[in-house]
Amino acid sequence: MGRPAERPPQRRMQRSSWLSRDSSVSGALERRAARAEQLAEGSAEGSAERSIDAAPLVFAAGLYRVQAKVAAALAGRTLAGSLDQDLGGFRAELDAILRYAGKSGPPGLRAEALACRGEALSERLIAWWKGPRAGRTDYLARALLRPYGETLAQAGAPVEPPAAKATVAGACPRCGGPPWIAWRRSGSGDEAAQRLLGCGVCGTERPLGRIACAACGQTEPTKLAVFQTERHPAVRIEACDACLHYVKSIDLTTDGRAIPEVDDLCSLSLDLWAAEQGYERLEPSLAGV
């Protein structure tokens, strides 16, 4: 695996379905669940994606479905954007996510979910919300509060800032959460091709310069490495040799059905390879890596 020269993405007029906006957060989560199931079934049937491990996709599909139920319960509620004030109104709904994680998650997550109960969980969630809001520090908290974060974003509700100022260059301008996935799409008309980051907390997308590290903001081209393989031609590891972090980037011009945070799970081998090279993913995927 090396560092091939960057080739500009093929321009297409059709926009990816990822760019369309669902009428509800629960609908968006259900669509992600359907995409995960589609990819998992394709793997089982021996399609071009036959080398994919279906287990993370199956887990993701189930997680999205229980998150969708929480989002549906939150729909239409007046939220303050302060978890201290809002949590009591939907804390009971989070038990569905806890039960699913405790039953179907990987061993480490199952143990965490089964150990979380009552006031201890509420305190844990509020502490996480007031911190950097990173899945790296608490994957379970991110999974539990993703429907809340997305509901705040869709409603345009104010979000209390984290207690500590974000140190990540690509932090979400809405909630301060770190980006967990990037994607590239063609521009239309005179627009240049775009590179965007997706927040792992509230789902907000934001543009990022084509030559910039999402972690530290480095813009020196010799410090920025791009890795690709023929096995996953639409996927890139965009790494920084200054801070040794990377983001996974999905090219949306190759498949109009792609949903970046879901399709990310089809190339976990690239994450494992990047870790072997000494790079750390800025924010873990749904698979926890």
Q: What length does the chain have?
A: 289
pLDDT tens sequence across 19-46: 456 889 999 999 999 999 999 998 766 5
pLDDT tens sequence across 60-82: 999 999 999 999 999 989 999 99
Q: Which residues contact 219 (CB under 8 A, 6 or more apart)?
A: 209, 211, 212, 213
Residue 127 has pLDDT above 50, yes or no: yes
pLDDT tens sequence across 94-110: 999 999 999 999 999 99
Residue 191 has pLDDT above 50, yes or no: yes
pLDDT tens sequence across 221-256: 999 999 999 999 999 999 999 999 999 999 999 888
Under a CB-based contact definition with an 8 Å cutoff, are residues 114 and 108 in contact? no
Q: Any idea which residue has 């063609």 for tokens? A: 186
Phi-psi region of 81 (alpha: psi -120 to 50; beta: other; left: phi over 0): left
User: Which pLDDT does position 16 carry in this prediction?
Assistant: 36
Under a CB-based contact definition with an 8 Å cutoff, are residues 262 and 252 in contact? no
User: Which pLDDT does position 12 carry in this prediction?
Assistant: 33
Residue 5 has pLDDT above 70, yes or no: no
Quickly count: other Cβ atoms within 10 Å of residue 77's Cβ: 12
What sign does the dihedral 114-118-122-124 (CA atoms) show?
negative
User: Which pLDDT does position 42 carry in this prediction?
Assistant: 85
pLDDT tens sequence across 39-62: 999 876 655 444 578 999 999 999
pLDDT tens sequence across 178-190: 999 999 988 766 5
Residue type, 147: P
Under a CB-based contact definition with an 8 Å cutoff, are residues 237 and 250 in contact? no
Max Cα–Cα distance, the chain, nearest Å: 54
User: Which pLDDT does position 6 carry in this prediction?
Assistant: 41
User: Which pLDDT does position 49 carry in this prediction?
Assistant: 46
Residue 83 has pLDDT above 60, yes or no: yes
Residue 265 has pLDDT above 90, yes or no: yes
223: burial class by Cβ within 10 Å (0-12, 13-18, 19+)?
middle
CA 202 – CA 153 distance, rounded (Å): 6
Average pLDDT, the chain: 89
Q: Any idea which residue has 């910039």 for tokens? A: 212
**Residue in 60, 62, 36, 30 with CA at minimum distance from that of residue 49:** 36
Q: What does the domain layout of the chain look like in residue ranges? A: 19-155, 179-281
User: Which pLDDT does position 154 carry in this prediction?
Assistant: 93
Three-state SS sequence of 117-149: CHHHHHHHHHHHHHCCCCCCCCHHHHHHHHHHH
Confidence of residue 117 (pLDDT cuts 50, 70, 90): confident
CA 50 – CA 60 distance, rounded (Å): 18
User: Which pLDDT does position 44 carry in this prediction?
Assistant: 62
Tokens read off for 196: 């965007």
What letter would DSSP give residue 230?
T
Confidence of residue 195 (pLDDT cuts 50, 70, 90): very high
**Residue in 285, 209, 280 with CA at minimum distance from that of residue 245:** 280
User: Which pLDDT does position 166 carry in this prediction?
Assistant: 78
Three-class secondary structure of residue 47 per DSSP: coil
CA angle 194, 199, 200 (to 5 degrees): 140
Question: Mutual orientation of helices 139-155 and 25-44 as an angle, nearest 10°?
Answer: 130
